[in-house]
Amino acid sequence: MPDPIRLAKRVAEMTGCSRAEAEQYIEGGWVTVDGETVEAPQHPVTTERVEIDPAARLSASEPATLLLHKPEGIAWQDAAALATPATHAKDDDSGVRPLKRHFHRLTPLMPLDTDASGLMVLSQDGRAWRRLTEDYAQIEQEFVVEIRGGTDPYTLSCIGHVATYQGRGLAPCKVSWQNEVRLRFAIKDVQPGELRHRCREGGLDVVSIRRLRIGRVSLAKMPVGQWRYLPADARF
């Protein structure tokens, strides 16, 4: 049996391309070994059948950003575990090709209360991390909050103009009625537990909270527990 060689070397020999280009083909998910996609250029091969997808194109493997519909009861720091090939939304129209590497080292961004559901961002991209971390206080988030309790003409003003929470001053936020039992918030720099606090200050109890939007990126109609890719041209 011949000595093993790196998959990138085999691909370079097969195609006549450079080693760097061979690595791009492999990391892009275009190469199979005995019918199974392998994304590691250093993968050893001997007599295995190596094939390259006829549609293969050279492009650097970009870090992925995933948008997840987090269920209630899951801590936002643990949300990355929910992103698997099985939970990929079938109607994802981002145009991003799913790769195994997209599930590695995903960082959850934009905190969301454990007892809340809705849009979560999971990313490998340092640019997304900087935008959603360093600019957190300037990015508007939208929530729908189901409530119960009595209301009066001053309820919305009271909720939108709560002065402090846990010793910290709060800026006014935009709040409106979606229907008789749901409030819609547009709010910046929201802190864990803040929406429940605001509703309590308005004499209301919170039944559920769901985040609909982060900046310009929305949850849309994605089912709970599923995820889709953030398109390459989308910006928060």
DSSP states of 168-214: EE----EEEEEETTEEEEEEES--TTHHHHHHHHTT-EEEEEEEEEE
Distance CA 112, CA 181 (A): 22
CB 110 within 8 A of CB 214: yes
Structure tokens at 141: 């988030």
CB neighbour class for 123 (10 Å; exposed up to 12, middle 13-18, buried from 19):
buried
Structure tokens at 29: 């998910």
Structure tokens at 145: 């909050």
Q: What is the pLDDT of residue 95?
A: 85
- Where do the H-state alpha helices sit in the chain? 7-15, 19-27, 126-134, 155-160, 194-201
β-bridge pairing 217-218 and 50-52: unpaired
- Torsion sign over Cα 75, 163, 200, 157: negative
Q: What is the pLDDT of residue 97?
A: 87
Distance CA 29, CA 13 (A): 18
Q: How far is CA 113 from CA 121, 129, 190, 232, in A?
A: 14, 19, 11, 28
Site of tokens 């981002």: 94
Q: What is the pLDDT of residue 155?
A: 95
pTM equals 0.84
If DSSP codes are grouped into helix, strand and coil, which group holds residue 79? helix
Distance CA 60, CA 62 (A): 6
Question: In the beta sheet, which residues pair with residue 65?
Answer: 123
Domains of the chain and any CATH numbers? 5-52 (3.10.290.10), 65-136+217-229 (3.30.70.580), 140-214 (3.30.70.1560)
Q: What is the mean pLDDT of each run of 10 residues along the chain (236 residues)?
A: 87 89 84 88 90 84 93 97 96 91 95 98 96 97 97 95 95 96 97 97 97 97 97 90
Distance CA 171, CA 189 (A): 9
* Number of alpha helices (DSSP H) and beta strands (DSSP E) in the chain: 5, 16
Distance CA 195, CA 143 (A): 9
